[in-house]
Amino acid sequence: MRLRRGKSDPAVFRITGARQGLHDDVRGRERRYVISMMVRTLAVVLTVALWNVSRPVAVVALVLGAVLPYVAVVIANAGRENVPSLPSTFITRDTPPTLPPSAGEAHNRN
Provide the b/e sequence for 10-27 (b: ≥16 CB within 10 Å).
Answer: eeeeeeeeeeeeeeeeee
- Nearest Cα residue to 25 out of 70, 83, 66, 67: 83
pLDDT at 1: 47
Ramachandran angles phi, psi of 29, nearest 5°? -65, -40
Tens-of-pLDDT digits for all 110 residues of the chain? 444 455 555 666 666 666 677 788 888 888 888 888 899 999 999 999 999 999 999 999 999 999 988 888 887 777 666 655 555 555 556 666 677 767 766 556 55
pLDDT at 44: 92
**In this structure, what DSSP letter does residue 53 have?**
T
pLDDT at 24: 83
pLDDT at 90: 55
Report the SS3 class of residue 99. coil
The rounded distance, in Å, linking the Cα atoms of 72 and 37 is 8
Strand partners, 16: none
